[in-house]
A = this chain, B = another copy of it.
């Protein structure tokens, strides 16, 4: 018998009517002959309601207790769905992270899954029940509740798919798949039928919000096919799978932009061995993710070092860098919070030369200044001023024919 994981996000379980709808969909999937495991997020708005109570009490709530608090959101969802399935004549059991040994490390608020115990889930499936699992949550080695960070329910679903060797992990969401670009920016964006893990990983890392990055990594490592589809109809969506021969002909799979980007420049840094480590080690220790790094050619023994970080980390970065500029004897620090990173992603870049050159040409012709460039085998990212980012996406989307031919 086949076994499928079905993940529904907060919007898809945001009202009792939608929970009833998910109950019906889950029963239909079961009646079609599959074992069904459903993973849920909290009802839309619930996590924010809980967070705002904690933040009314204090600006910096205790991290362990925050996870105890916000994990109740998923617990409410799974209980209500199990009740709705019973009310519709089916059988269901809900499970929390501690009940299915959803083990993580102990980093509250951004924990990583280390193992899953499938015993109770298998027993429940053998009793012909629909298994309903709380997404987003885990337990550490001491039994403390942890959470996986925003979008963590995607990772819960993929981890369960891997542990249960499921046939597929279906991500039911409020969009009907993965698009060649944000349709809000490119009205002619098209749904992608199939995309490779590597490409999806880049798209997710570079600003596409449809799947949490870690869930894609997990799926790639365990070869779990992901199907991103609409929670509100039965149309097929987008499959994320291993790279296939047919995918190679496409040079560019999609264009994305990330406006949660800020640029920082340290001016006239002494060009000596070890200096760069002195700059970036304290950021790494603080958990700040440094993205594009650019170092100018040395001039009179000094160099400018420019890098980007998430805009939401900018205050923290400045607090760490300010004392450091004195220690290093640099001329100081400038920052620009109003930049964006526009990226082209496509596994076909490996075998097709000239994509980068064509991209730079398109942006240059439109008078868009590229401040920084970062490339990998399958992606090209350009940092531009935020005001230019939407136009840049549209130009690139059009130049590589994404709106015309199916991705």
Contact = CB atoms under 8 A, between A and B. Distances in A.
Which residue, of A68, A93, A94, A96, has the highest number of chain B Cβ atoms within 10 A? A68
B57 A16 contact: yes
Contacts of A96: 68, 145
Interface in A68-106: 68-69, 71-72, 75-76, 78-80, 82-84, 86-87, 92-94, 96, 98-99
Contacts of A16: 53, 56-57
B65 A83 contact: yes
Given A62-B86, A75-B68, A80 B54 contact: yes
A61 interface: yes
Interface residues of A, number: 37
A329 interface: no
A65 B87 contact: no
Nearest to A87: B58
Contacts of A66: 79, 83
B80 A57 contact: yes
Provide the main secondary structure of the chain A interface: helix
A355 interface: no
A117 to B, nearest CB: 11
Nearest to A74: B72
Contacts of A79: 54, 65-66, 68-69, 72
A69 B76 contact: yes
Contacts of A20: 57
B61 A86 contact: yes
Contact of A61 (B58, B87, B98): B87
A19 interface: yes
Interface string A339-377: 000000000000000000000000000000000000000
B76 A50 contact: yes
Contacts of A53: 16, 76, 80
A72 B76 contact: yes
B72 A84 contact: no
A64 interface: yes
Nearest to A71: B75
A55 to B, nearest CB: 10
A75 B64 CA distance: 13
Contacts of A76: 50, 53, 69, 72
A195 to B, nearest CB: 36
A94 B54 CA distance: 15
Contact of A83 (B54, B71, B83, B92): B54
A143 interface: yes
Interface of A: 16, 19-20, 50, 53-54, 56-58, 61-62, 64-66, 68-69, 71-72, 75-76, 78-80, 82-84, 86-87, 92-94, 96, 98-99, 120, 143, 145
6 contacts: A54-B83, A58-B86, A66-B83, A68-B79, A69-B75, A99-B143
Given A19-B57, A53-B76, A57-B83, 11 more contacts: A58-B87, A62-B82, A64-B93, A65-B82, A65-B83, A66-B83, A68-B75, A71-B75, A72-B76, A72-B79, A120-B143
Q: Which 4 A-B pairs have the closest CB atoms?
A: A58-B87, A69-B79, A68-B79, A72-B72
